[in-house]
Amino acid sequence: MNLSNLRKIAVVGAGTMGAGIAQACAAAGFQVAMRDIEQQLVDGGFRRIREPLAKRVERGKMSQAEVDAILSRVRGVVALKEAVDGAQLVIEAVFEKMEIKKELYAELERLCPSDVVFASM
Protein backbone atom coordinates (compact mmCIF):
# COMPACT_ATOMS: atom_id res chain seq x y z
CA MET A 1 0.00 0.00 0.00
CA ASN A 2 1.25 3.46 -0.88
CA LEU A 3 0.86 5.39 2.38
CA SER A 4 0.57 8.68 0.53
CA ASN A 5 -2.80 7.42 -0.76
CA LEU A 6 -4.05 6.66 2.73
CA ARG A 7 -6.87 9.02 3.66
CA LYS A 8 -9.57 6.99 5.34
CA ILE A 9 -9.23 4.13 7.79
CA ALA A 10 -12.11 1.92 8.88
CA VAL A 11 -11.74 0.54 12.41
CA VAL A 12 -14.08 -2.38 12.98
CA GLY A 13 -14.88 -2.82 16.67
CA ALA A 14 -15.17 0.10 19.12
CA GLY A 15 -13.97 -1.71 22.24
CA THR A 16 -10.70 -1.20 24.13
CA MET A 17 -8.44 -1.74 21.13
CA GLY A 18 -10.72 -0.31 18.45
CA ALA A 19 -11.31 2.98 20.24
CA GLY A 20 -7.59 3.38 20.98
CA ILE A 21 -6.67 2.64 17.38
CA ALA A 22 -9.34 5.03 16.08
CA GLN A 23 -7.98 7.74 18.36
CA ALA A 24 -4.38 7.17 17.26
CA CYS A 25 -5.32 7.17 13.57
CA ALA A 26 -7.35 10.38 13.94
CA ALA A 27 -4.52 12.00 15.92
CA ALA A 28 -2.22 11.12 13.01
CA GLY A 29 -4.53 13.10 10.72
CA PHE A 30 -6.53 10.35 9.02
CA GLN A 31 -10.28 10.24 8.55
CA VAL A 32 -11.60 7.34 10.61
CA ALA A 33 -14.86 5.41 10.53
CA MET A 34 -15.26 3.51 13.82
CA ARG A 35 -17.77 0.70 13.49
CA ASP A 36 -19.51 -1.45 16.05
CA ILE A 37 -22.62 -3.57 15.81
CA GLU A 38 -24.93 -1.31 17.84
CA GLN A 39 -25.11 2.45 18.30
CA GLN A 40 -24.60 2.20 22.07
CA LEU A 41 -21.35 0.29 21.48
CA VAL A 42 -20.22 2.99 19.06
CA ASP A 43 -21.11 5.58 21.74
CA GLY A 44 -19.02 3.57 24.20
CA GLY A 45 -16.09 3.78 21.79
CA PHE A 46 -16.42 7.56 21.70
CA ARG A 47 -16.40 7.64 25.52
CA ARG A 48 -13.17 5.62 25.48
CA ILE A 49 -11.67 8.18 23.13
CA ARG A 50 -13.01 11.30 24.87
CA GLU A 51 -12.16 10.48 28.48
CA PRO A 52 -8.37 10.15 28.21
CA LEU A 53 -8.25 13.16 25.89
CA ALA A 54 -10.23 15.25 28.40
CA LYS A 55 -7.66 14.27 31.05
CA ARG A 56 -4.85 15.44 28.80
CA VAL A 57 -6.60 18.80 28.43
CA GLU A 58 -7.06 19.04 32.23
CA ARG A 59 -3.33 18.40 32.70
CA GLY A 60 -2.44 21.02 30.11
CA LYS A 61 -0.87 18.42 27.80
CA MET A 62 -3.24 19.09 24.95
CA SER A 63 -5.51 21.94 23.92
CA GLN A 64 -9.27 21.59 23.58
CA ALA A 65 -8.85 22.61 19.93
CA GLU A 66 -6.52 19.64 19.34
CA VAL A 67 -9.02 17.29 20.97
CA ASP A 68 -11.86 18.73 18.90
CA ALA A 69 -9.77 18.24 15.74
CA ILE A 70 -9.14 14.58 16.63
CA LEU A 71 -12.81 13.95 17.42
CA SER A 72 -13.92 15.68 14.22
CA ARG A 73 -11.98 13.08 12.21
CA VAL A 74 -13.76 10.10 13.81
CA ARG A 75 -17.18 9.12 12.53
CA GLY A 76 -19.11 6.46 14.38
CA VAL A 77 -21.08 4.01 12.25
CA VAL A 78 -23.07 0.81 12.63
CA ALA A 79 -23.37 -0.16 8.96
CA LEU A 80 -20.23 -2.01 7.86
CA LYS A 81 -20.73 -0.95 4.23
CA GLU A 82 -20.70 2.70 5.26
CA ALA A 83 -17.63 2.20 7.47
CA VAL A 84 -15.50 0.71 4.71
CA ASP A 85 -16.79 2.89 1.88
CA GLY A 86 -13.78 4.80 0.49
CA ALA A 87 -11.35 3.34 3.05
CA GLN A 88 -7.89 2.24 1.92
CA LEU A 89 -7.17 0.40 5.18
CA VAL A 90 -9.47 -1.67 7.41
CA ILE A 91 -8.29 -2.45 10.94
CA GLU A 92 -10.28 -5.23 12.57
CA ALA A 93 -10.53 -5.19 16.38
CA VAL A 94 -13.53 -7.38 17.18
CA PHE A 95 -13.92 -10.10 19.82
CA GLU A 96 -11.30 -12.84 19.78
CA LYS A 97 -13.81 -15.41 18.43
CA MET A 98 -12.86 -17.25 15.27
CA GLU A 99 -16.47 -17.54 14.01
CA ILE A 100 -17.08 -13.79 14.36
CA LYS A 101 -13.79 -12.98 12.65
CA LYS A 102 -14.45 -15.42 9.78
CA GLU A 103 -17.92 -14.02 9.17
CA LEU A 104 -16.60 -10.47 9.29
CA TYR A 105 -13.76 -11.15 6.84
CA ALA A 106 -16.18 -12.82 4.42
CA GLU A 107 -18.32 -9.69 4.53
CA LEU A 108 -15.28 -7.40 4.21
CA GLU A 109 -14.11 -9.32 1.15
CA ARG A 110 -17.50 -8.80 -0.46
CA LEU A 111 -17.58 -5.09 0.34
CA CYS A 112 -14.00 -3.94 -0.27
CA PRO A 113 -12.05 -3.59 -3.52
CA SER A 114 -9.07 -5.94 -3.79
CA ASP A 115 -6.49 -3.23 -3.10
CA VAL A 116 -7.85 -2.46 0.38
CA VAL A 117 -5.46 -3.61 3.11
CA PHE A 118 -6.86 -5.55 6.07
CA ALA A 119 -5.11 -5.52 9.44
CA SER A 120 -6.16 -7.79 12.31
CA MET A 121 -5.65 -7.35 16.05
Ligand X SMILES: NC(=O)c1ccc[n+]([C@@H]2O[C@H](COP(=O)([O-])OP(=O)(O)OC[C@H]3O[C@@H](n4cnc5c(N)ncnc54)[C@H](O)[C@@H]3O)[C@@H](O)[C@H]2O)c1
CB of 2 to ligand X, least distance (A): 26
Alpha carbon distance 28, 23 (integer Å): 9
Give least dist CB 41 to ligand X, A: 5
Nearer to ligand X, 59 or 110 (CB): 110
**Alpha-carbon distance 11 to 104, whole Å?**
12
Q: Which is nearer to ligand X, 6 or 46 (CB)?
A: 46
Alpha helix positions (H), the chain: 16-27, 39-58, 64-72, 80-84, 98-111
Nearer to ligand X, 61 or 95 (CB): 95
Q: Would you give the distance in Å from CA 101 to the centre of its chain?
A: 16
- Specify the amino acid at residue 58: E
Closest separation between CB of residue 97 and ligand X, Å?
Answer: 8
CB closest to ligand X, residue no: 15
Pairwise CA distance, residues 23 & 2, whole Å? 22
Nearest to ligand X of 69, 106 (CB atom): 106
Q: Closest approach of Cβ 98 to ligand X, in Å?
A: 10
Contact positions toward ligand X, by CB under 6 A?
Answer: 12-18, 35-37, 41, 93-96, 100, 104, 121
User: Could you count the other beta carbons within 10 Å of the beta carbon of residue 64?
Assistant: 10
